Amino acid sequence: MSLNFYRRIAFGLSPQDELPQEPLSWALNQLNTVPDFLWKGSIPTEKELRKKYGEWVYGDREVLRKKFKNDKNAYRKAKDQLRIETGERYFELNEHAIRHYQTKYGTQPVFERFWLFWGNHFAISEKDFLAEFSTGPYQREVIRPNMLKTFEDMVQAVTTSWCMIHHLDNSESVGPNSKRGVESRDTINENHARELLELHTVSPRAGYTQEDVIQLAYIMTGWSHKWSRKTLETGDVWFDQEKHQKGEKIVLGKKYKNDAKRELAKVIHDLATHPMCIKFVSTKLCRHFISDEPTEEMINPVIEAWNKSNGNLIEIHKAVVTQAFKYNDTSHKFHPPEIWLMQLSRMFDLNTPLSAEKMNYAFKSKPTGRQGQLSWILREIGNSPYRAKQPNGWSDFEVDWVSPELLLRRFWFASVELPYLLKPQNRSHGFILRCLKNNFEDHENMASLIHQFRFGTTDKDLGRQYGIICNLPGVLKV
C-alpha cells in the first residue's frame, strides 16, 4: 500500500504525524464519531448568524435604501458601514478558517474528507448572501451531526433546513388550491423539488417526469421560513398549512394521501431508499475517492453495505474507504484546488489558516488583509467552497480542473504565495525532503527535480522548489 492512501482519503501526513502501522484500520476507526471542532475562536450558531443576516437584509432593504434613495454616494457609504457592523465581510472568512483549521490539525482527517464531500453533494450555490451568513453553519450544524445517522436522516435534515429552503425558494411555493393559493393566485416553485430528485436523491436515471416534479413540489408546499416585518425572510422554518396543496399526490408511481406536513417525510423515505438513489450516491462517493469513472466492481460493495445497514452512513463510509484502499495502487484521482491546498497546508505545516486570536473581529472596521488571506487564496485558485456557481456543487471530474488557467493559478500559488506561509523553522531544503519522504513513495525522484535549488532559502528560491513539487502529477492527483 503506497503512501498515496493518506492523501486519497485524507490530507496526507504532517511533519508531526506518525506513519500508521495499519493504514486501513487507521482510516476506518475515524468514522465512528463526530470530532469536536478544534477552533478556539468564535463559532457562531446557525441561529446567531441568521440573526445577523436579518440585520443585514433589514438594514439595507428597509432602512438604507429608503433613507438614501436620492443619494447614491451616501447610500454606498452607509451600506459599507452596515457590512462592518453586521460582519457581512467577516463571517465567511471565519468559516473558512474553522474549516481549514479542522482539516489541518484534526485527528480524524478521514471523517473531515467525508464532511467536505457531503457539503458539496448538498451544495448551496452563490446566492442571496448565503455564503456570507448561512452556508458555513449549515454544513456544521445540519450535515456534520447527521454523518453518523442514515442517508435518509441526512436528506430529511437538509431538505427542511432554513438554508436549503431559502436557497431553493421553497417559501415562495404555494399550492394552487391551498387557502393562500386561492386567495392570492400564487402557485408552486419547482426549484426545491427538482433538486431533491435530480441532485440529492434518485437522479434523472430514475426516469422521473415533469409531472413527478410538480407533484413533489405540491408535497413540499408549506415548508417555509417565518416572515415578519422586522426579520423578513430570516425567521425559523415552519410548516404553513395555508400554503399546502390539498389532495392526493403521485410521485414515481406511488400515491401519497393528503397528510399535511407528514407527506414530505414519507416521500423522502421512498426517495432515499430507492435503488437508483443508492446507486447514484454510491457512484458519486466512489468517484470522489477512487476514480472519475468508477467500475461496477468498485461501486457494488458500497451498494451492498448501504442495503445491509439500511443506509447507515458510518457503514457506507467504511465501505468506500475499504474500496479506496483496495484500488489505491491501480486507480488515480485528481484533487480539486481546495483539497490540494488543504493537503499542502497539512503536509508542509503552512501558516494557514490564521490562529483564532488573529481572526478576532470587533465589528468596527473592515477585516484585515491577513484575516481575508485564506479566502482570497481560495478564490484565486478557483475553488471558494461556499460559492459554487450551480446547485450541483463543484465538479469531481478531472477535466473540469485541468484548464491551463486553473493549473497556472496553482503554480502561481505554490511558487509565489506559499513561501510566505512557511514557518521560520521550516524554510529549508531539508524540511521539504522530510515532508516528501513522509508522503510520497517517489520522494527521491521528486527531490532530484529541485536538487539545483537546495542551497537557496530566499522566497524566490523556495518558490522555485515548491512551484515544481506542488504541481507534479503525483501531487495534483493520487
pLDDT band at 458 (very low <50, low <70, confident <90, very high): confident
Q: What is the reported pLDDT for 135?
A: 98
Measured CA to CA, the distance from residue 156 to residue 198 in angstroms comes to 16
* Spatial contact of 324 and 8, defined as CB atoms under 8 Å apart: yes
Three cell numbers at 156?
430529511
Mean pLDDT of 243-266: 97
**Distance between CA atoms of 458 and 221, rounded to whole angstroms?**
62
pLDDT band for position 1 (cuts 50, 70, 90):
low
Is 408 a domain residue?
no
pLDDT of 253 > 90? The answer is yes
Q: Which residues contact 87 (CB under 8 A, 6 or more apart)?
A: 52, 361, 363
Would the pTM of this model clear 0.95, i.e. be above it? yes
Evaluate whether residue 300 is within a structural domain. Answer: no
pLDDT (tens digit per residue) in 265-298: 999 999 999 999 999 999 999 999 999 999 999 9
Q: By mean pLDDT, which of 199-213, 300-314, 448-462 is the weakest?
A: 448-462
d(CA 440, CA 124): 35
* Counted domains in the chain: 1
User: Is 252 inside any structural domain?
Assistant: yes
Q: Cell numbers of 227, please?
A: 416572515
| Residue 465 C-alpha from the chain's centroid | 31
**pLDDT confidence band for 58 (50 / 70 / 90):** very high
Mean pLDDT of 19-36: 97
Percent of the chain with pLDDT over 90: 96
How far CA 16 is from CA of 122, 351, 426, in Å, comes to 34, 15, 13
* Residue 194 belongs to some domain of the structure: yes
Give a yes or no: residue 344 inside a domain: no
Q: Is the pLDDT of residue 264 over 80?
A: yes
Range of the domain at 207: 162-272
The conformation of residue 437, written as its DSSP 8-state character, comes to H
Which amino acid, residue 14?
S
pLDDT in tens, 200-234: 999 999 999 999 999 999 999 999 999 998 899 99
Residue 245: inside a domain: yes
pLDDT higher than 90, residue 454:
no
Q: How far apart are CA 324 and CA 318, in angstroms?
A: 10
Distance between the two ends of the chain, CA-based, in angstroms?
Answer: 12
Asked if the structure places residue 221 within a domain, the reply is yes
User: What average pLDDT score do residues 249-274 get?
Assistant: 97
| Residues 142-187 pLDDT 10s | 999 999 999 999 999 999 999 999 999 999 999 999 999 999 989 9
pLDDT at 453: 78
Q: Quick one: 473 exposed, middle or buried, by C-beta within 10 A (0-12, 13-18, 19+)?
A: exposed
DSSP 21: S
Average pLDDT of the residues of the chain = 96
**Rounded average pLDDT over 252-276:** 97
As to burial, measured by CB atoms within 10 angstroms (0-12 exposed, 13-18 middle, 19+ buried), residue 471 is middle
In a domain, 186, yes or no: yes
Average pLDDT over residues 443-465: 87
CB atoms within 10 A of CB 474: 18
User: What is residue 239's three-state secondary structure?
Assistant: strand
Q: Rounded distance, CA 38 to CA 33, Å?
A: 15
